[in-house]
C-alpha cells in the first residue's frame, strides 16, 4: 500500500487511508485474496438459489416481508425496488469527501467476502472512486439500524444508472454521469441490493473524518493553549511532571509533556520559584526609584513602601467582597495609607511600582482554564483514542445482513448493521471535543478582559489617545467563540440514548449513529474555529507584551506565533491603508477564517512538530 494507491482486503484499512481516498483522491484496488473471497461468497448465493433454499434476503423479501419467498423471475425487480423505495433521504447533500469515504468503506466491507455480492458489482463501485463519480446523497434520513439504509440506497442507485451524481464538478443524472465516465451500469442480482445498503458506512465515514480532524485539533489546541499561557504570564508549576505522575492517565501525561516542550525556554511562563526571583529583580528596580528620595535609611524606606503596598493590596482584595456599607472604613484606611506615603515624599509611580511587585509575588497559580489544561485536553486525547479504536474496528467489519460464510456454506442472520458502537463513540467524541472549545473560550475571555489579562489592554487593543473609543479590538472574537461553544454544548447532547421504533416495529431499537456522527463532525468544525480565535487573541497579546519589554517565547510557541503571523500579519491593509492591528481594527472574520484553515489543514501542527523537538502530536 502507498499513499497514492490503497489496496482493499477488508481487514487492514486505516483512518489515514480513508482520509487519503476521501480528501486526496488516492486510487483504490482490490487485493487478490479479496477477489477470491468475494467470488466464493457469490458462488454460494447462486448454489442456494439453484437448490431452492429459503434464505432471508436472498430468496425472500426484507424486513416485515422476510416470510415472503421471491420467485426467480422477480429477483432482479426486487433489487431495483429495494433501492427505489429506500432512497428516501432529505436535507443538504453530504460533502464529496464523506461520499468518497462512504464508497471506500462499503467496498472494504464487501471485500471481506461475507456479503454475497458479485465481483463485477464491487469493481464498479471502485470505478466510481477512481474516476470521480460521486453519488448525491442527502445527509438526513438514517436512524442507524438497519445500518444507513436511506443514504446508502442513494449511493447504490447510481450503480444501476439512476439517482444523481457529481462528475467533473457537474450534477448529472446517474445515467449521464456513468455515460460520461464510461462506466457501464449494472443490473443487480440476488442479495446485492441488501448487501449495498445494509451497513454502517455513512456514519462510519463521517466518524473516520471527524476522528482524523479531532486528532489534529487536540494537538493544535495544546499549541494555542501554550500561546495563551504565555500571553497571560502563566505559572509553569501546573505542568510539573511530578504532579502528573500521581495521576497516570496517558492523555494527561502527554498534554503536560507537550506544554512543557512548547514553553521550554520561555522568559514569560515561569515556575513560582522563578517568579520569586523576578520579584527580587522588581524590588531592585523599585530601589532605583527610592534612591531618588532624600532620606538616609533607604533600606527602611524600601521595606516601609513594600509593607504599605502589601496592606493596600490586602485591603483591595477585601473590598472586592464587602458590601457598600462595610467597605467605607476600609476605603478610609486605604486612602490614609496612601496619603502617608505621599507625605513621606513617595511619588504615585513609586507606590504603583511597589503595588505591582507585591501583586506578582502573590501569583502562585493560575485559573483553571490555564492550570488544568493537561487534565482537560488529556482526557480529550483519551476519548479520541477510544473513538479511533472503535472506528478502526468498524471500517474493517462486515456490517450487512444476512452474512455469508462460504466455507461452511451457511447464511446467518444477525445484527451487525446496528450502529450502537459508532453512535456511542461519536457521542463521546462530541462531548470530548466540546471540552476543548469551552476551556479555550475561557482563555480567550481572559485575554480580552483587562481585569483578568495580567496587564493587557481591554479587547487587546492599544489605540493612540486620539482614537480611544473609536476602535473596538478583538472583543467580538470572544463573543463568536462563546456562541460556538454554546452550540457545541447543544450538539454534544447524546444521540445514542434516543431510539424510535421503525419498520412496523421490526426495528424496535435503533442507534441514531448517523445523527451522532454528524453532530460530532459539526462540533469538531466549531471548535477548530474557536482555536483559530484563540490563536488570534494570544498572538495579539504576545505582540502587545513585546511593546514594553523584550520577551523570549518558548521553543514551540515561537514557531506557532511565526506561523500565525504569516497568515495574519501584524501590519495589514485596511481600506488600502496599512494599519497596525495592535492599534487599529481589522476584519476579524477574515483573520479567524484564515487561522481556521491553518488549524484544519494541519499545517500549524506540522510546522510546530517539525521544528519543536519532543512535541508529541
Q: Catalytic amino acids?
A: 56
183 and 131 in contact (C-beta within 8 Å)? yes
* 447/232 Cα distance (integer angstroms): 7
Partnered with residue 577 across adjacent β-strands are 574
Tell me how crowded residue 355 is: count the other CB atoms within 10 A of its CB. 18
CA separation, residue 519 to residues 114, 489, 496, 523 (Å): 31, 11, 11, 6
Strands 5-8 and 27-30, how do they pair? parallel
8 burial level (CB within 10 Å; 0-12, 13-18, 19+): buried
Closest CA to 127 of 180, 90, 81, 70: 180
* 583/150 Cα distance (integer angstroms): 54
* 481/488 Cα distance (integer angstroms): 10
- Sign of the CA dihedral 373, 377, 382, 383? positive
Partnered with residue 173 across adjacent β-strands are 164
563 and 616 in contact (C-beta within 8 Å)? no
Radius of gyration of the chain (CA): 32
Closest CA to 506 of 149, 171, 59: 149
Spell out the residues 6+ positions from residue 526 whose beta carbon is closer than 8 angstroms to its own: 437, 484, 485, 487, 488, 491
Amino acid at each position: 500500500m502507498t499513499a497514492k494507491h490503497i489496496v482493499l482486503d477488508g481487514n487492514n484499512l486505516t483512518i489515514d487511508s480513508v482520509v487519503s481516498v476521501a480528501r486526496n483522491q488516492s486510487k483504490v484496488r482490490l487485493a487478490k485474496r479479496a477477489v477470491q473471497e468475494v467470488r466464493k461468497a457469490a458462488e454460494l448465493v447462486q448454489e442456494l438459489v439453484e437448490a431452492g433454499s429459503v434464505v432471508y434476503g436472498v430468496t425472500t423479501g426484507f424486513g416485515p416481508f422476510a416470510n415472503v419467498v421471491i420467485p426467480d423471475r422477480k429477483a432482479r425487480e426486487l433489487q431495483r425496488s429495494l433501492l427505489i423505495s429506500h432512497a428516501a433521504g432529505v436535507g443538504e447533500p453530504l460533502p464529496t469527501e464523506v461520499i468518497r469515504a462512504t464508497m471506500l468503506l462499503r467496498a472494504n466491507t464487501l471485500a471481506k467476502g461475507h456479503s454475497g455480492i458479485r465481483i463485477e458489482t464491487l469493481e464498479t463501485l471502485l470505478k466510481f472512486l477512481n474516476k470521480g463519480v460521486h453519488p448525491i446523497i442527502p445527509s438526513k434520513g438514517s436512524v442507524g439500524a438497519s445500518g444507513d439504509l436511506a443514504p446508502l440506497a442513494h449511493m447504490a442507485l447510481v450503480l444501476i444508472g439512476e439517482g444523481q451524481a457529481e462528475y467533473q464538478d457537474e450534477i448529472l443524472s446517474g445515467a449521464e454521469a456513468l455515460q460520461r465516465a464510461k462506466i457501464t451500469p449494472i443490473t443487480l442480482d440476488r442479495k446485492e441490493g441488501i448487501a449495498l445498503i445494509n451497513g454502517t458506512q455513512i456514519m462510519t465515514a463521517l466518524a473516520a473524518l471527524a476522528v482524523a480532524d479531532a486528532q489534529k485539533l487536540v494537538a493544535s489546541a495544546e499549541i494555542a493553549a501554550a500561546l495563551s499561557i504565555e500571553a497571560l504570564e502563566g505559572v509553569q508549576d501546573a505542568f510539573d511532571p511530578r504532579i502528573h505522575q500521581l495521576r497516570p492517565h496517558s492523555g494527561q501525561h502527554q498534554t503536560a509533556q507537550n506544554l512543557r516542550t512548547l514553553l521550554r525556554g520561555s522568559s514569560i511562563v515561569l515556575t513560582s520559584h522563578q517568579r520569586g526571583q523576578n520579584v527580587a529583580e522588581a524590588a531592585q528596580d523599585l530601589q532605583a526609584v527610592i534612591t531618588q528620595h532624600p532620606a538616609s535609611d533607604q533600606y527602611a524606606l524600601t521595606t516601609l513602601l513594600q509593607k504599605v503596598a502589601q496592606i493596600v493590596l490586602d485591603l483591595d482584595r477585601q473590598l472586592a467582597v464587602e458590601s457598600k456599607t462595610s467597605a467605607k472604613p476600609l476605603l478610609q484606611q486605604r486612602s490614609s495609607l496612601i496619603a502617608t506615603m505621599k507625605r513621606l515624599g513617595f511619588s504615585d509611580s513609586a507606590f504603583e511600582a511597589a503595588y505591582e511587585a507585591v501583586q506578582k509575588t502573590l501569583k502562585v497559580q493560575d485559573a483553571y482554564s490555564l492550570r488544568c489544561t493537561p487534565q482537560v485536553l488529556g482526557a480529550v486525547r483519551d476519548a479520541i483514542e477510544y473513538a479511533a479504536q472503535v472506528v478502526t474496528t468498524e471500517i474493517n467489519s462486515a456490517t450487512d445482513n444476512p452474512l455469508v460464510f462460504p466455507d461452511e456454506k451457511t447464511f446467518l442472520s444477525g445484527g451487525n448493521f446496528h450502529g450502537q458502537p459508532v453512535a456511542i463513540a461519536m457521542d463521546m467524541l462530541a462531548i470530548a471535543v466540546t471540552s476543548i472549545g469551552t476551556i479555550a473560550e475561557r482563555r480567550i475571555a481572559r485575554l480580552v478582559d483587562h481585569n483578568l489579562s495580567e496587564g493587557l489592554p481591554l479587547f487587546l487593543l492599544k489605540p493612540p489617545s486620539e482614537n480611544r473609543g473609536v476602535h473596538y479590538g478583538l472583543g467580538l472574537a470572544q463573543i463568536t467563540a462563546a456562541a460556538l461553544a454554546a452550540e457545541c454544548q447543544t450538539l454534544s447532547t447524546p444521540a445514542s440514548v434516543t431510539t424510535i421504533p421503525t419498520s412496523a416495529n421490526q426495528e424496535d431499537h435503533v442507534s441514531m449513529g448517523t445523527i451522532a456522527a454528524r453532530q460530532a463532525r459539526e462540533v469538531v468544525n466549531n471548535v477548530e474555529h474557536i482555536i483559530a480565535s484563540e490563536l488570534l487573541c494570544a498572538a495579539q497579546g504576545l505582540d502587545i507584551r513585546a511593546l514594553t519589554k523584550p520577551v523570549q517565547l518558548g521553543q514551540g510557541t515561537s514557531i506557532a506565533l511565526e506561523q500565525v503571523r504569516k497568515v495574519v500579519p501584524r501590519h495589514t491593509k485596511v481600506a488600502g491603508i496599512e494599519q497596525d492591528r495592535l492599534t487599529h481594527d481589522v476584519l476579524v472574520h477574515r483573520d479567524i477564517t484564515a487561522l481556521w484553515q491553518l488549524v484544519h489543514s494541519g499545517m500549524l501542527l506540522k510546522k510546530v512538530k517539525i521544528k519543536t523537538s519532543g512535541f508529541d502530536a
